[in-house]
């Protein structure tokens, strides 16, 4: 099962000038063949279908644990799309509904963002085609699945770079800059797994694709923070065998690969404003607020929402402090006891 936190994996910018055409392109990273729905569902199904885990525990854990990170990547792509679409329709001017969205006609948008959706992310690719389970490869053959996953991460980074080059919106840049780095970690992880099982040295293929990640400023800052060498363990107590596979030098930089116990406490989200022209969350959002305020009061909840938003509003719920030590460091300290 999955334990959910109301935080995101990296800091995302607040809404600025809307870019509905850019958002339509970013959809490829959500519901495209090489998008985050595909990585999430591929690793999720491979982990569900994994047989004889006792005999292959570190490889099972690698796939299952990366699946959990991919959920957070889908979330980040959705945040970017929602941010880019914010403000793309006019706010209610109090007049009878007429033609306030006709200006969208001239843009290379996905009309479903406005007609089927409420200016939010859709489970579709950049052509507006729905994501399909046919994008999931789960053969049951471990070497075949791992090789597929290496290829999937390679294609995913290829598409991320192209979307980076197509979109200059700050949300698209923050998104792709971060995902290029994290996708690189997953690529290295699957390459190591194939190498340890078969002896095939996939590290000779790096950089693959040939992306100068360190020259991209939005990626560089994550590399400077060491996020290109760390595999996060997405569980408080399970998946303790990742370091058996994720180890050795990074194939591009030579730095040591490391498993760390969690991705940190994450970042709060921006509370994106209502978009009444598309009924998100309603044509008259203030009525929903009134009802929610009354219900919260009746439930004895504090006046301020019990969540923190990126603008600092709200009140923080009490959090258990996350474990900071790496798996290796923890093993060392428990050995001393």
> Any residues with CB less than 8 A from the CB of 160 and at least 6 apart, and which?
29, 176, 179, 180, 183
CA angle 87, 89, 93 (to 5 degrees): 105
Q: Which is nearer to Mn ion, 110 or 154 (CB)?
A: 154
To the nearest whole angstrom, how small is the minimum distance from the Cβ of residue 186 to Mn ion?
4
* Residue of 25, 73, 113, 192 that binds Mn ion (CB under 5 A): 73
Q: Which stretch binds Mn ion (CB under 5 A): 84-92, 135-143, 184-192, 251-259?
A: 184-192
Q: Which is nearer to Mn ion, 169 or 186 (CB)?
A: 186
176 lines the binding site for Mn ion (CB under 5 A): no
Q: Which is nearer to Mn ion, 186 or 270 (CB)?
A: 186
Site for Mn ion (CB under 5 A): how many residues?
A: 6
Q: Which is nearer to Mn ion, 39 or 65 (CB)?
A: 39
Q: Which is nearer to Mn ion, 157 or 169 (CB)?
A: 157
To the nearest whole angstrom, how small is the minimum distance from the Cβ of residue 179 to Mn ion?
6
Give yes or no for a contact between 236 and 264, defined as CB atoms under 8 angstroms apart.
no
- Tell me, what DSSP letter sits at residue 214? G
Write out the binding residues for Mn ion, residues 85-124 only, by CB under 5 A: none
CA angle 54, 133, 114 (to 5 degrees): 135
Write out the binding residues for Mn ion, residues 201-220 only, by CB under 5 A: none
Give yes or no for a contact between 15 and 39, defined as CB atoms under 8 angstroms apart.
no
- Tell me, what DSSP letter sits at residue 119? S
Q: Which is nearer to Mn ion, 186 or 227 (CB)?
A: 186
The encoded tokens of residue 308 equal 């923190």
Q: Taking CB under 5 A as the rule, which mask of x and - marks residues 32-61 in contact with Mn ion?
A: ----x--x----------------------
Q: What CA–CA distance (Å, rounded) separates 330 from 324?
A: 9
Q: Which stretch binds Mn ion (CB under 5 A): 8-16, 44-52, 180-188, 306-314?
A: 180-188
Give the side-chain half-sphere CA count within 13 A for 47. Answer: 20
To the nearest whole angstrom, how small is the minimum distance from the Cβ of residue 299 to Mn ion?
37
222 lines the binding site for Mn ion (CB under 5 A): no
The encoded tokens of residue 81 equal 């799309």
Give yes or no for a contact between 84 and 22, defined as CB atoms under 8 angstroms apart.
yes
Q: Which stretch binds Mn ion (CB under 5 A): 88-96, 177-185, 235-243, 249-257?
A: 177-185
Q: Which is nearer to Mn ion, 39 or 274 (CB)?
A: 39
Q: Could you identify the residue written with the tokens 């998008």?
A: 35
N- to C-terminal Cα distance for the chain?
Answer: 32
Q: Which residues pair with 232 in a beta bridge?
A: 260
To the nearest whole angstrom, how small is the minimum distance from the Cβ of residue 332 to Mn ion?
29
Q: Taking CB under 5 A as the rule, which mask of x and - marks residues 228-267 in contact with Mn ion?
A: ----------------------------------------
Query: Helix H segments across the chain?
Result: 20-31, 36-48, 53-85, 142-166, 170-198, 217-224, 285-298, 327-336
Q: Which is nearer to Mn ion, 67 or 272 (CB)?
A: 67
Q: Which stretch binds Mn ion (CB under 5 A): 20-28, 68-76, 102-110, 293-301?
A: 68-76
Q: Which is nearer to Mn ion, 73 or 192 (CB)?
A: 73
Give yes or no for a contact between 183 and 160, defined as CB atoms under 8 angstroms apart.
yes
Q: Which stretch binds Mn ion (CB under 5 A): 63-71, 106-114, 228-236, 321-329?
A: 63-71
186 lines the binding site for Mn ion (CB under 5 A): yes
Q: What CA–CA distance (Å, rounded) separates 196 from 133?
A: 30
Whether cis (ω within 30° of 0) applies to the bond prior to 318 is: no
Q: Which residues bind Mn ion (CB under 5 A)?
A: 36, 39, 70, 73, 183, 186
């Amino acid at each position: 099962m999955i334990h959910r936190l109301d935080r995101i994996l990296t800091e995302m910018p607040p809404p600025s000038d809307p870019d509905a055409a850019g958002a339509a392109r970013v959809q490829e990273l959500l519901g495209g063949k090489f998008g985050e729905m595909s990585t999430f569902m591929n690793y999720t199904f491979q982990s569900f279908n994994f047989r004889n885990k006792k005999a292959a525990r570190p490889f099972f854990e690698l796939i299952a644990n990366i699946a959990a990170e991919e959920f957070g990547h889908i979330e980040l792509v959705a945040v970017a799309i929602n941010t880019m679409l914010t403000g793309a329709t006019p706010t209610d001017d109090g007049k009878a509904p007429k033609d306030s969205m006709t200006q969208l006609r001239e843009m290379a948008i996905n009309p479903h963002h406005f007609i089927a959706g409420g200016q939010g992310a859709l489970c579709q690719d950049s052509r507006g085609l729905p994501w399909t389970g046919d994008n999931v490869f789960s053969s049951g053959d471990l070497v075949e699945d791992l090789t597929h996953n290496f290829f999937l991460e390679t294609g995913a980074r290829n598409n991320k770079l192209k979307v980076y080059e197509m979109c200059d919106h700050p949300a698209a840049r923050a998104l792709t800059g971060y995902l290029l780095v994290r996708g690189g970690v997953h690529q290295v992880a699957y390459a190591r797994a194939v190498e340890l099982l078969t002896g095939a040295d996939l590290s000779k293929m790096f950089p693959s694709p040939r992306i100068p990640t360190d020259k991209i400023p939005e990626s560089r800052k994550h590399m400077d923070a060491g996020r290109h060498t760390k595999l996060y363990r997405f569980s408080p107590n399970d998946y303790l065998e990742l370091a058996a596979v994720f180890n050795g030098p990074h194939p591009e930089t030579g730095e040591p690969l490391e498993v760390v116990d969690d991705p940190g406490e994450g970042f709060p989200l921006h509370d994106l404003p209502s978009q009444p022209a598309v009924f998100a969350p309603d044509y008259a959002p203030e009525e929903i607020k009134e009802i929610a305020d009354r219900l919260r009061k009746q439930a004895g909840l504090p006046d301020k929402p019990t969540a923190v938003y990126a603008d600092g509003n709200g009140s923080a719920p009490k959090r258990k402090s996350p474990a900071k030590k790496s798996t290796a460091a923890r093993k060392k300290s428990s050995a001393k006891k």
